[in-house]
Amino acid sequence: MPENKTMYYSNYLQLDKICNAQYPESFKNENEPAHDEMLFIIIHQAYELWFKQILFELDFIINVFAKNKIDDNSEDLNLVRHRLHRIIKILELLTQQITLLDTMTPMDFLEFRNLLIPASGFQSVQFRLIEARLGLQMNTRFNNDYYKRTNEGGFSEKDFNNINETESDVNLLQLINKWLERIPFFEIDLWKSYKNKFPLTDHLHPFWSDYRHIYKNGLNEKETDRINDFDFIFFENKNNNDVKLLQKPLLSAAAMRAALFIMLYRDFPVFQTSYQILDGLIETDNQLANWRQKHIDMVRRMIGMRMGTGNTSGRGYLEGALNNNYIFKDIAGLSTFLIERKNLPKLPVELIQKLSYNK
Ligand code: HEM
């Protein structure tokens, strides 16, 4: 027998708790044991463990961005990039993991489905906390009435309060907004030697004055209206009725300008980490959407048009959540406003020298 103080595999991993936490309902009392309920429980538990790891990484990322100043020469931003990448890899795994349920047929599921009602993955608090910490807010959630139920299929009062409290804390989207707003790319002192290619547009920074011209000139005749969206998003020009945007951006105009600038000059080494973080946020959204899509496909196969055990409309609800619950859509949407690399304004030396910036 190993001594008490010696590290022992099952103690270290608390396997007695984890491996003795499966109690299929169909194995209890007079019920007919349904073989596949064990898989159903273990797959959900495995998801919850990975959700826990995602929340752990998100905590770190949020704490970095919550600092008043992020030194670009510190390890912080690089660790954010690295740990965001880990979240993306976990989400990829979670999407693949759904395919395990393909080994359970709809008839196998029916053997124990009624025993679960009204429990459902809808009630996964950790999943809701991931969404909330990233930046999804109750008022923008699809069909948010479902969340407010504390009756059948809804959350317990404790869980509901926990989700609401987390939503009222600062979230990653808000912190990214602040971080981008702080980056001093456009301090006028850094643009003294910049030579404008086009006549200066009133009130615009020399860079944005040129950029607006270049972007406008690059639009084909079917897209000319885009310049109204450009002015709205990057300069909050709200006096224009021709804006075609379906939704007002969640990020401020100043944050959007910094984000576009990073996207444009991503090939400069000094922008690489920031660029990869922005790209990682877009990818996080994409991976969450991939998971939602794969889950819908599996649900369609498993229960067809029936309601979910959690009492929502089932597929209708899930499709709404898929289309509606993107969090970093403003950053993904920046591609609408890019220009060809060969037309990029040349950056002034002062700016390049300063580009080991502190934010
Ligand atoms: C037989 C397998 C499954 C079926 C038939 C199924 C079905 C559903 C349905 C119909 C909903 C909508 C809520 C409701 O009315 O119940 C839902 C939501 C959800 N399920 Fe599943 N599910 C299955 C497996 C899983 C697994 C393995 C997970 C992993 C954790 C999961 C996580 C979720 C989550 C997080 C939601 C909320 C999604 C959102 O709000 O966008 N489900 N599920």
Residues 6+ apart with CB under 8 A from 228: 237, 240, 242, 243, 244
Query: Are the C-beta atoms of residues 8 and 1 closer than 8 Å to each other?
Result: no
Distance 119 CA to ligand 1 centre (A): 10
**46 in a domain, yes or no?**
yes
**98 in a domain, yes or no?**
yes
CB of 46 within 6 A of ligand 1: the answer is: no
Residue nearest to atom 31 of ligand 1 (CA): 121
Query: Are the C-beta atoms of residues 110 and 26 closer than 8 Å to each other?
Result: no
Residue 356: what pLDDT?
59
CB of 312 within 6 A of ligand 1: the answer is: yes
**356 in a domain, yes or no?**
no
- The dihedral built from the CA positions of residue 136, 137, 143 and 149, taken in this order, carries a sign that is positive
Nearest CA-CA partner of 135 in 101, 182, 171: 171
**239 in a domain, yes or no?**
no
CATH number at residue 160: 1.20.58.480
Helices (H), the chain: 9-12, 15-18, 37-65, 76-97, 106-116, 125-134, 145-148, 157-168, 172-182, 206-218, 226-235, 253-264, 269-303, 315-324, 329-332, 349-354
Residue 211: what pLDDT?
97
Range of the domain at 136: 32-172+283-327
What is the DSSP secondary structure assignment for residue 307, as one 8-state letter? P
**332 in a domain, yes or no?**
no
**47 in a domain, yes or no?**
yes
CB of 211 within 6 A of ligand 1: the answer is: no
> Beta-carbon neighbour count of residue 146 at 10 Å?
18
Nearest atom of ligand 1 to the alpha carbon of 317: 12
Q: How far is Cα 316 from Cα 324, in angstroms, rounded to an integer? A: 12
Q: How far is Cα 315 from Cα 295, in angstroms, rounded to an integer? A: 10
**124 in a domain, yes or no?**
yes
**231 in a domain, yes or no?**
no
CB of 109 within 6 A of ligand 1: the answer is: yes
Mind listing the pLDDT tens digit of every residue in the chain (359 residues)? 555 679 999 999 999 999 999 999 999 988 999 999 999 999 999 999 999 999 999 999 999 999 988 876 678 999 999 999 999 999 999 999 999 999 999 999 999 999 999 999 999 999 999 999 999 988 888 888 888 777 778 899 999 999 999 999 999 999 999 999 999 899 999 999 999 999 998 789 999 999 999 999 999 999 898 999 999 999 987 666 666 776 789 999 999 999 999 999 999 888 899 999 999 999 999 999 999 999 999 999 999 888 888 888 888 999 999 999 999 999 999 999 999 999 999 999 888 887 755 55
Count of domains observed in the chain:
1
Residue nearest to atom 38 of ligand 1 (CA): 122
CB of 317 within 6 A of ligand 1: the answer is: yes
Distance 247 CA to ligand 1 centre (A): 28
